[in-house]
Structure 1
Amino acid sequence: MSLPRSPYLMLRLIVTAVACLGTTTFCQAGHNIFRNNAVGGISIDAQGVVNQPSVEARQVLVRELAAGLQPVDGALRQQTEIRMISLKMLEQAIADAQASNLGNLPDDIKYLAGIQRIEYVFVYPEANDIVLAGPGEGWRVNEFAEVVGETTGRPVIELNDLLVALRTAEQARDIGISCSIDPNPDGVAAMQRVVKGYRRFDESVIGAIEQAMGPQTVTLTGVPAHSHFARVLVACDYRMKRYAMHLEQAPVNGLPSFLEMLGESRVKLTNMMPRWWLACNYEPLAKSPDGLAWQLRGPGVKAMTEDALVSEQGQVVPAGMANPIAKRWADSFTEHYDELASRDVVFGQLRNLMDLCVVAALIDKEALLDKAGCDLPLMMGQTEGLEVDSWNVPKSVSTESSFVKRGREYLITASGGVQIESWSVISKAQSSNSVEQLRTEKAAKAENKSWWW
């Protein structure tokens, strides 16, 4: 059985689950060890190598997190379509906890009162406050060591991620927020030489390809590489490619792998390889005429694709076109994203991050803190005392190959990433009287002395 001289080469990333769970700034060392080794489906060691965790490590982490979780009582447990969070009062609650509890934050602050998406931003100059609003409920630890809603199983938003979004709004504007996992050119060139040296296809080809490719590089921009935020970006890239390359069955019906689609198609094969990435997917924001009320609209996330040309030197260059099967897979991924986000929770976490980035960009661009007369020195990082949680920094991913046979041709693996263009999202807005009316209806409760309601 001959191996084609120019197979359709897609440079496969190891892709495993990462359901990322954040904790507060103040963590015990033992907890950190298990957290880095077992969060949701990947481990990242001290050298930054991303691998699959052991079942034992994950189980230990689940038990530790569940045992350490404080009971969720009273109104916090109630599922609601609109949970309100006062940024002014949250800042004060954090300061109070630091002063009275040795800096340890309670779970309701860590998990932002169980809010699960940010749908509204209300500005109340008369109260010197900005209020974030969206669905919320009580929380629990699931079997993958993720903190999720008690009834929906969807991830709750974490304080750590809110802090990163607020503090990196300018970086998001200037350089963007992104993650990619890519093969290095030397590895690609070595892999191509290996493929050309084989006349017959057998199991040894796969091992030789993986060895020739070597580790692939994780690149993060715009956010601290040690943050939970960054880990979610890496996790989603990792998981998406796992589904695309037929290394794991997607947990939703109607989403086959890209390799399955390609194996059944008659699309001509070339030396192009597809890249997929996840990007923002919002409709124009709704805004009140006075600019004091805003609504985020749309599903939040979409998958996109473009072919890339692989040169003999191993350089990967965008081709400006998309393989029709790769596009069909990306469209299917987008179509099933909401269902996927409820089953593979890291994708729900990514949507939360995109919401937070849009909100942070909006606050910055529209000078909402100035309009509200609201000062958030702790959360904005203007004063010391509130650091984001620190995780092992992801640096590399081992290469692992998958393939599908089509006639005499063998299709072997891909690259891509995550891109959050929050400033592009906020550049489009439409006037809405209904969002202004909702802000007015919630104004009385905004004077509540609690930081959430």
Structure 2
Amino acid sequence: LRTFSDNGEEIFGCSFDPRAEGLARVKEFVTQSNARGPLSAGAGVRNYTKQLKEKLGIQDITLYGVPDTSRVARVLIEADYRMKLIGIGKMDAGKNIPSYFDLLAQESNQSGMNLEALRWWLTMKYDSVLHNPQRTAYQVVGSSVLCQSENQIVTKEGERLRTGQAEKLNREFAANFTEHYQELAEQDLVYADLQNIFDLALVAALMRNEQLANRAGWEMTAFAANGAYRPAEFEPAHTVDTVVNHRVFNGKDVVVQVAGGVRVDTNSVVKNQQNLKVSPEVGAVSAQSKAPALPVGRWWWDLAN
């Protein structure tokens, strides 16, 4: 509610940002390693992986729209980090969401670069928002989470350049993640939590966009921007271990480094009139949900079946 108040940003999310100097070191390291030929098994591979992490260093966490001490911030960061671990094969999400390396291994024409700079991020995905003619009752349809992807280019100086495009395997990983998100949420509750946050954010945005609190005569008091209610606070996270992994394909080291984040832009849903549709069914529900006679001080009631 506070994010979508008069002084709120009306958008929130997080991103993991690799440092340019680390990317520059890794790019040079990978090029030199491939020039020397294939790695030796065992200790050679372990040493290579260790050096990769050391040269790349940590990533900075950028958080916006919600307090960095909030539980919402923790869920955004955790969901984003786990998605990237899944993508580089360091966390198992099940057979329906194979890692990028698994997809690369299945590709007959493996044309991966020495250093693959991938960007994966999670956004909102809704089919529509239905409402009655009076716009007093709403139903969110097709709630889910969308994983998007992009290939980026790393310059010699370590700068990541956006391309606005994603190659086939990158798109395939994102599509699998989106299609099987509900399965993932059942086995890893952080993803169920993330979807709930998306849904609540959409409801809060609808309340603001449709002026529902004003129309209902609710001043929000304790829940307002400067209200008395204070949610629990947690230790904020400002940096995170780098998300990087590598495999050897056709005698060549392919290193994948991932950036990205979570972006919750509710305006893309609630301010798009094509998403808002009148529904007779929602109108029928609203007619059945009028408040009965309530005891003094009671503001809530159960909807009759």
Q: Do they fold alike, i.e. is TM over 0.5? A: yes
Question: What secondary structure sits across from 2:126 in the alignment?
Answer: strand
> Is the 2:122–2:148 contact (alpha carbons within 8 Å) kept by the matching residues of 1?
yes
| Separation in 2, partners of 1:423, 1:244 | 29
Q: Does 1:180 align with 2:43?
A: no
| Separation in 2, partners of 1:411, 1:273 | 11
Kindly provide the amino acid, as one letter, of the partner of residue 294 in structure 1. Answer: Y
Select which of 236, 242, 247 maps to 1:393: 236
Q: Does 1:197 align with 2:41?
A: no
| Separation in 1, partners of 2:82, 2:13 | 16
Q: Does 1:355 align with 2:203?
A: no
Normalising by structure 1, what TM-score?
0.60
Q: Residue 333 of structure 1 corresponds to which residue in structure 2?
A: 177
Q: Does 1:370 align with 2:214?
A: yes
Q: Residue 155 of structure 2 corresponds to which residue in structure 1?
A: 311
Kindly provide the amino acid, as one letter, of the partner of residue 97 in structure 2. Answer: L
Q: Please give the root-mean-square deviation of Cα atoms over the aligned residues, in Å.
A: 2.0
| Separation in 1, partners of 2:13, 2:292 | 37
Select which of 94, 103, 125 maps to 1:261: 103
| Separation in 2, partners of 1:286, 1:304 | 26
Report matched runs for 1:207-286 at 5 Å: 207-250=50-93, 252-265=94-107, 266-270=109-113, 272-286=116-130
Kindly provide the amino acid, as one letter, of the partner of residue 438 in structure 1. Answer: V
Question: What secondary structure sits across from 1:226 in the alignment?
Answer: coil
| Separation in 2, partners of 1:253, 1:173 | 41
| Separation in 2, partners of 1:268, 1:322 | 14
| Separation in 2, partners of 1:302, 1:268 | 27
Segments of 4+ moved more than 3 angstroms:
170-175, 444-453
| Separation in 1, partners of 2:196, 2:10 | 21
Report matched runs for 1:73-112 at 5 Å: none
Unaligned runs of 5+ in 2: none
| Separation in 1, partners of 2:80, 2:118 | 14
- Once the two structures are overlaid, the 10-residue window that deviates more, 277-286 or 262-271, is 262-271
Normalising by structure 2, what TM-score?
0.87
Kindly provide the amino acid, as one letter, of the partner of residue 257 in structure 1. Answer: S
> Is the 1:171–1:222 contact (alpha carbons within 8 Å) kept by the matching residues of 2?
no
The structure-2 alpha-carbon separation of the partners of 1:273 and 1:175, relative to structure 1 and needing over 3 Å to count, comes to farther
Q: Residue 439 of structure 1 corresponds to which residue in structure 2?
A: 286
C-alpha displacement at 1:269, in angstroms?
2.1
Select which of 320, 329, 342 maps to 2:164: 320
Report matched runs for 1:413-452 at 5 Å: 413=256, 414-427=258-271, 428-444=275-291, 447=294, 449=298, 451=300
Unaligned runs of 5+ in 1: 1-165
> Is the 2:291–2:301 contact (alpha carbons within 8 Å) kept by the matching residues of 1?
no
C-alpha displacement at 1:195, in angstroms?
2.2
Identical-residue share of aligned pairs (%) = 29
The structure-2 alpha-carbon separation of the partners of 1:171 and 1:272, relative to structure 1 and needing over 3 Å to count, comes to farther
C-alpha displacement at 1:437, in angstroms?
1.0
Report matched runs for 1:285-304 at 5 Å: 285-304=129-148
Kindly provide the amino acid, as one letter, of the partner of residue 286 in structure 2. Answer: R
Kindly provide the amino acid, as one letter, of the partner of residue 259 in structure 2. Answer: S
The structure-2 alpha-carbon separation of the partners of 1:388 and 1:254, relative to structure 1 and needing over 3 Å to count, comes to same
| Separation in 1, partners of 2:132, 2:206 | 14
Question: What secondary structure sits across from 1:381 in the alignment?
Answer: coil
